[in-house]
Structure 1
Amino acid sequence: MTEIPVTHGTQGVPDDAPAHDAARPGPLEILDAAALRRWLFRAREDLGRHRAAVDALNVFPVPDGDTGTNLHLTLHAGLRAFLDALLVKAHEGEGAPGVVEGTALLARATLFAARGNSGVILSQLLAGLAAAVASSPGVDDSGIDGPLLAAVLEEADRRARRAVAHPVEGTILTVARASAEAASSAVAAGTTSLADVVATACDAARAALARTPGQLEALARAGVVDAGGAGFVVVLEALRAVVAGSPDGTDDADTALLPWSEGTGAPCTPEEVAPAYEVMYLLDGLADRAAERLRSRLGEIGDSVLVAGDAALRTVHVHTDEPGLAVEAGMDAGRPYAVRITSLREATPSRVSDDDTARPEVGDGDGRRSGGDVSLRCASPSRPSAGGGSASSDRGEYGSAPTKTGPAGPTSPPLLLDGDVPASSAAREPAAHVSDVPAPRALGVVACVQAPHLEPLVRAHGAVVLADAPGRRVTPSQFVEAARRTGAGRVAVLPDDGDAVLAASAAAEIAAEDGIDLVVVPAAHLVQGLAALAVADLDDPDSVAGMAEAAAAVRCGFVATATSSGETDAGPCRPGDVLGVVEDTVTTVGSDARAVAVDLVHGLLRGDDASGEIPAEIVTIVEGQGRVGLGAEVADDLGGVLDEAEIVVLDGGQAVYDLLIGVE
């Protein structure tokens, strides 16, 4: 390999790092290391240009979609880390990494930086790219031609799907598979040209994207295509542009985004009753064939099956009515540890953590709470007593604790990426917003918090806080770094939405390499996470079981203002209408947020019980940005009806959601 020239200015970026290379002729016959870099930098640029459009492909008529942002920031941060490695090699006098080493570095960096479900899946697709080229002898010299690219797409498809027993069609997985199958069919029919194989894959991906509304009811009702699939098409179209020799800044990728529409944002009602339990555990030393057998066996007794990782460490997840059989399957495969069994009946996680709430208590004598100094509490009967080290009774003065140094993932001084704007740009990956660190205990807690005004409350109860919100999702590397900062060998992670759950699960595998047992408590809402924190005993690592039980006892919903028109389960809505949402379903459409919130609470109390409402012990209302006072009005309306319930009103300051409401 030849040495790469180095610029000795403040940025020190190698001359071949920028993607802007309009003078390069095309079409290309092979993808060498430099061409691969140009493709990925181009993809990052195109994802940035189309970020808002992809974000808008949302099945809810509220502005919380962030798929485009997550994909862009994932690739952006991964490329920054890759450039860091490139610069180190250059300054040490080494040559630029070849195809094999470069793709391996990028895949690893992207996993650390992955944001949201779409970002994690993108990292797995890049892992497939790395694996495919690693198994091709001589690829550093010969580059990637048409047949090898087809193999790359096939391996990327396998990697993205391998962990999931029952992939959902109509998503990014469907679009990725269509591109892989089309490329392989073209090669089998005699096509060898790189440009032709890429074009075939792109066209197939675009066609598959257009079909996604016919595969998912939520997309059809909202009138949109799948956002993750759209982002994948943007990435493939960037490859087509590089192979064709198109200069940067052209609109080649724009045609890939058709057919897109504004979308109405109405949700789809789940058609099936969820299984009763979630089972999760870890397995070491499980070969690929054994993992496939375990995945198949778990698929026979449940759904949402996940057997992720590699032969060194596997993360296992299943929803089932037979938790004992799920654990037994793991025992037949190896020695499962960090076993967690969680009831799903009381609180099924929703599509997004936007129905998040908190549960403080403040004594003002009338059963209602508002403002003031607060501490967490939980209505669960399993809550430890005050003398048993509950979260609200054993907090001390916390200062900055010694932390294990060394980055969880690649971090560096600001660099300019290929034609990028300076480090102050919003396109840069935001730094993790991590709270003051508590003194080390036997059990550490890392909590995602979507409502910024509640961060001091969570921090006061011993947790390291990570700010999380649509468009600013927590990455696996941020989870790992926060876990290290707790100083504990076992760390409970409290996500606040589905995206955070997936990122935390990826972080658990990374943390295991440092000897940290990172336990993901299945709390897909902020209110569930705070219920779990209320029963945490930081001196007892095994208290995570009680934390999971407390989280499952909470039902959550949110009130938000529609920003687009659409059909919902509660009837049509227009911009400006107020929506009440529970578990992926719009339950109420109205013009008065106060009335919608009251109706939402009664719906949460009824749940699936048609015979009447279940008595509530605690109702928590978290007011959003600009909505201070609304929660107190709702509490007044509820006070005369819910005589036995304690009603808590908090200023959360969260964007998008007027009110976050939780009932336990």
Structure 2
Amino acid sequence: MAVTVRLAFIVAAAHAALKAQAARINELNVYPVPDGDTGTNMLLTLESVLKETSGRSYDSVEAAVKAGARAALMGARGNSGVILSQMIRGACEVLARRTTFTAEDFAAALEGAERRAYASIRQPVEGTMLTVIRDAARAAREALKEKGADLPTVIRAAAREAHASVRRTPQLLGVLREAGVVDAGGLGVAVILDGLYACVSGKRVEEEESAPEEGGAPDLEAIHAAEEAWGYCTEFFVNGFSGDPRELEEWMHGAGKSVLVVADEDLVKVHLHTQDPGRALSYASGYGRLSGVKVEDMEAQVRSRSEEEVPARELAVVAASRGEGNRGMFEAMGVLVVEGGQGANPSAADLLRAVERSGAREVVLLPNNKNIVPTAEQVAEMSEARVHVLPTTSIAAGLATMVGYDPEGEPEEVVGEMREILQGLRCAEITRAVRSARVEGRKVPEGAFIGLLDGALVAVGESVEEAAVQVCRTLVEDGAEIVTLLCGEGLEEEELGRLLERVRGLDEELEVEVKRGGQPLYPLQVVAE
């Protein structure tokens, strides 16, 4: 029990430190786009571990760290979150074989984090969070050689070297150097180490500009905010508690999800999501008198979408998407939509729930955002269904790929057709620069509209129209025959009309389609065939 409490305390400190710096980390995109979310993705991944470890007890250190590693994987969001989850997993694999948390244990855990993180990436790139964890691990190991090196000393050495490594990332990665930023994920790793140092020493790392935020305890009133709408959120107190809290907790785990049982002398608070709150209340009343009972129907707001049972089928499609128009188009084609995309990446658990809900033996997963692709690949490893991840990097690409979907067709043939369509697409996004930058040799003023074609900067203009025309001209010159414009928030009808006239004027044989998706942050997405 003592080891578990210490684990939760450490995780809370790391979470608090990262929370204080998340906005700063989000601003460090190479491209000055408005959906920077590295800090948020790492924070939500760590928050998943915090929820798992807080208020919980385990039979052994091994059980505790395995639960933490599992929570990190299920809560992973975006590329940075997935890599962080692998670091946590690697550290947990080392700690699971130990019964202490000494300076040597910490150094070994960092080395485990480094090994697992590098192993999870097919082509590791230096100048990223991988480099930072490697340098931090080496610094920790070197610090152990100093006489009298205790746990705070070793963590401090790792944190200081992590920040130094972050400052060196532009020297290793040209795109960082040109954009004038350091690696965002690397800074997140350094900040987490700051939090660990603050936890064990009560001090802060000298290089940091701001001290880690205090607190970090989980908000039991809002724990269901990140969960799916399922059953009833049920909370209550048991006064004059008589019995074993672990026995009550074990029973509640069998009765629902998102269970927390927090004991304080003769008062116990219970939180769970269950389809039968009356049964849970009746059972708990055997331990004492109930008070503060609160039962909320979590499915009420989405019943129109969720109450119809999804029929069993051989092949289904799950897609991440934002914007009501986009959701409507996907659902009209039989797709199960997970809310998420630019600036709000879904977790592995979110995607896995949708895959399982489809009831299909095989599922096509459309991430529709480059930062969701790594998370989708994790789902493919966790699901009992056979999951085919088609690495769509925009909602427009996902919609275009659905042309090849036939729910009654042979899965292998359908997936092959969809994959072939995707390979023939070129995808572009128009958004507004949130800061001045120099990218790929071009100056990008703050507030300018930029066009990214297949991930590369090809247009800078004073309006959506200007940037979009530059992008479409490039596509036409490269032989595009069909161009689809997916309109998002912020694109006015008048501007769209002018844009259509100019795009159609690029080539009289060019076929131009317009769809209204309503996605935020990107007023226009373009896909060409």
- TM-score strictly above 0.5: yes
1:88-129 deviations in Å (ceiling 9; x for gaps): x5xxxxxx5543321111110110010111111111111112
- Give the alignment partner of residue 538 of structure 1, picking from 377, 390, 407: 407
Tell me how far apart the structure 1 counterparts of residues 433 and 456 of structure 2 sit (CA, whole Å): 14
Cα deviations by residue, 1:309-355 (Å, 9 ceiling, x for unpaired): xxxxxxxxxxxxxxxxxxxxxxxxxxxxxxxxxxxxxxxxxxxxxxx
Measure the CA separation in 1 of the matches of 2:366 and 2:375. 12
The count of residues paired between Structure 1 and Structure 2 equals: 445
Over aligned residue pairs, what C-alpha RMSD do you find? 2.7
Structure 1 residues 290-329: aligned runs within 5 Å? none
- Cα separation, 1, equivalents of 2:20 and 2:302: 26
62, 68, 83: which is aligned to 2:33? 62
Residues in 2 aligned to 1:159 and 1:257: alpha-carbon distance in whole angstroms: 30
- Are 1:122 and 2:84 matched, yes or no? yes
Equivalent in 241, 248, 256 of residue 208 of structure 2: 256
Tell me, yes or no, if structure 1 residue 441 matches structure 2 residue 313: yes
Equivalent residue letter for 2:65: T
Q: Which amino acid aligns with 1:199?
A: R
Q: Indicate the residue corresponding to 1:600 in structure 2.
A: 471
Give the direction of change, closer, same or farther, for the CA distance of 1:79–1:533 in structure 2 (3 Å limit). Answer: same
- Partners of 1:521 and 1:243 in 2: CA distance: 44
Pairwise mapping of residues 109-508 of structure 1 onto structure 2 (< 5 A)? 109-136=71-98, 139=99, 143-188=100-145, 192-246=149-203, 252=204, 255-256=207-208, 411-412=257-258, 438-508=310-380
- Would you say 1:516 and 2:385 are equivalent positions? yes
Q: Equivalent residue of 2:208, what SS?
A: helix
Equivalents in 2 of 1:502, 1:568: separation in Å? 24
- Secondary structure (helix, strand or coil) at the match of 1:575 reads coil
SS across alignment from 1:62: coil
**2:207, 2:145 → 1: CA distance?**
28
Q: Say if 2:15 is the partner of 1:44.
A: yes
Unmatched 5+ residue regions in structure 1? 3-31, 90-95, 247-251, 259-406, 417-421, 424-429, 607-612
2:429 corresponds to 1:558: yes
Structure with more contact order per residue of length (Cα contacts < 8 Å, sep ≥ 6): 1
Q: Is the 8 A contact 2:396 2:486 kept in 1?
A: no
1:601 Cα offset (Å):
0.7
Give the 3-state SS of the residue equivalent to 2:405 in structure 1.
coil
Q: Match for residue 71 of structure 1?
A: 42
Please identify, of 75-84 and 165-174, the stretch whose mean Cα deviation from structure 2 is larger.
75-84
2:227 maps to: none
Secondary structure in structure 2 of the residue aligned to 1:595: helix
Structure 1 equivalent of residue 244 of structure 2: none
> Which AA in structure 1 matches 2:479?
I
Taking the aligned partners of 2:205 and 2:41, their CA distance within structure 1 comes to: 18
Post-superposition CA distance 1:281-320 (Å, at most 9, x none): xxxxxxxxxxxxxxxxxxxxxxxxxxxxxxxxxxxxxxxx
Q: Which of 641, 647, 650 is the equivalent residue of 2:506?
A: 641
After superposition, the Cα gap between the structure-2 partners of 1:411 and 1:496, relative to the gap in structure 1 and judged at 3 Å, is farther
8 Å CA contact 1:492–1:519 kept in 2: the answer is: yes
Alignment check: 8 A CA contact 1:619 1:661 kept: yes
Distance, in Å, in 2 between the alignment partners of 1:572 and 1:637 is: 25
- Structure 1 residues 202 and 641, CA gap change in structure 2 (3 angstroms): closer
Partners of 1:165 and 1:58 in 2: how far apart? 22
TM-superposed deviation, 1:227: 0.6
Q: Which runs of 4+ in 1 moved over 6 A?
A: 413-416, 430-434
Query: C-alpha offsets along residues 347-377 of structure 1, whole Å, 9 cap, x if unaligned?
Result: xxxxxxxxxxxxxxxxxxxxxxxxxxxxxxx
Counterpart CA distance in 1 for 2:363 and 2:502 is: 40
Counterpart AA for 1:537: D
Q: What is aligned with 1:620?
A: 484
- Looking at structure 2, the residues matched to 560 and 496 of structure 1 have their Cα atoms a distance apart, in angstroms, of 16
Rounded Cα–Cα distance in structure 2 between residues aligned with 1:69 and 1:235: 13
Q: Compared with structure 1, are the counterparts of its residues 585 and 254 closer, same or farther at alpha carbon in structure 2 (3 Å cutoff)? A: farther
SS at match of 1:209: helix
Given the superposition, is the C-alpha separation of residues 165 and 520 from structure 1 closer, same or farther in structure 2, using an over 3 Å criterion?
Answer: closer
Q: For the residues of structure 1 that align with 2:503 and 2:311, how far apart are their CA atoms?
A: 40
CA distance in 1, matches of 2:135, 2:338: 37
Distance 1:414 1:639 in 2: 59
After TM superposition, the score normalised by the length of structure 2 is 0.78
- Inter-CA distance 489–257: structure 2 relative to 1 (3 Å threshold): farther
Instruction: State how far apart, in whole Å, the 1-side matches of 2:261 and 2:181 are.
Output: 36
CA distance in 2, matches of 1:471, 1:595: 24
Structure ranking higher in helix proportion: 2
CA distance 1:647–1:438, change in 2 (3 Å): farther
**Structure 2 residue runs without a partner (length 5+):** 211-252, 263-270, 273-297
Partner of 1:385: none
Q: CA deviation at 1:82?
A: 3.1
Deviations 1:588-635 (A, max 9, x none): 2222321221111111233xxxxxx4141x211122212132333211
How much has 1:161 moved relative to structure 2?
Answer: 0.9
How much has 1:219 moved relative to structure 2? 1.0
- Between the aligned partners of 2:123 and 2:314, the Cα distance in structure 1 is 37
Letter in 1 for 2:170: P
The CA distance in 2 between the partners of 1:581 and 1:433, in whole Å, is 35
Q: Residues 150 and 505 from structure 1, CA distance in 2 versus in 1: closer, same or farther, beyond 3 angstroms?
A: same
- Residues 230-273 of structure 1: CA distance to partner in whole angstroms, max 9, x if unpaired? 11111101111111134xxxxx3684369xxxxxxxxxxxxxxx
Residue 573 of structure 1 corresponds to which residue in structure 2? Answer: 444
Is residue 419 of structure 2 the alignment partner of residue 548 of structure 1?
A: yes
Residues 74, 113 of structure 1: 8 Å contact kept: yes
Describe the superposition over 1:45-65 as per-residue Cα deviations: whole angstroms up to 9, x where unpaired.
222221111101111122111
C-alpha separation between the residues in 2 aligned to 1:632 and 1:576?
22
CA positional deviation for 1:451: 3.5
